Amino acid sequence: MEIRAAFGDARFKCQRCGSCCHHRRPEEFDDLVPPERQAEFVHKSNLIYLTEKDIEKISKKTGLNPEEFVDALYADKIGSVRVEDGGRKVILDLPVMKSRESDGACVFYRDGKGCTIYPVRPTVCRLFPFVVVEKSGPSGGIVLEIKYNPTCPGMGKGKEPDRKRLEKLVVGQFTERMEAIGPEVQRLRMEGKILPEARIYRTMPGKKKKERAE
């Protein structure tokens, strides 16, 4: 695994505007995001992807069950690996934070108050406006490229980010995710259910059921 900082001399200072707490689910993407469009999807969206530890901390803090604040495309379990098309398509259904239907804001965001779970906010919130794009390296390894969301009003202001802190958060988030889905992917490979040429898709949870039905 390689971590690559791809944000140059970017500077950032939070403007307390709440724009990162209002989620965007780009209309030009379907429920399944193909591998060749995942970097574009990350660039255009700001969904709050959750790790198992994020969910546990928020549940403990709020007393809520995960189903009350977590969105996943497939309802059978929160976060899953699905195989379709005879093993040629692997779908990673990673959980994201739910949004309010009225304004698209995070369910824990309050106007005038901001984040109501700030001490236990998810890792991706601690990283924002910096985002991670996963790529395949030339030797088959994984490259975690740290970029930034250019729509954030705080970019170009304040100080340069602490790169070591960002890298630590990125490694922690990736490790937690791999521990959650890695064993399942490995099992499916060992059983021959995932073909070597399989393509990996990501889901875009949180669309209204009505929209999916249409």
Half-sphere exposure of 149 toward its Cβ, with a 13 Å CA cutoff?
Answer: 24
Please tell me the distance from the alpha carbon of residue 134 to that of residue 146, in angstroms, as a whole number.
9
What is residue 76's predicted lDDT score, i.e. its pLDDT? 57
Q: Kindly state the average pLDDT of the residues 167-174.
A: 88
Provide CB contacts within 8 A for 64, sequence distance 6+.
58
Provide CB contacts within 8 A for 50, sequence distance 6+.
70, 94, 95, 96, 97, 122, 124
- The pTM (predicted TM-score) of the whole model is 0.81
**pLDDT range class, residue 89, cuts 50, 70, 90:** very high
Q: Kindly state the average pLDDT of the residues 66-91.
A: 82
In three state form, how does the secondary structure of 139-194 look?
Answer: CCCEEEEEEECCCCCCECCCECCCHHHHHHHHHHHHHHHHHHHHHHHHHHHHCCCC
In the predicted model, is pLDDT for residue 59 greater than 90?
yes
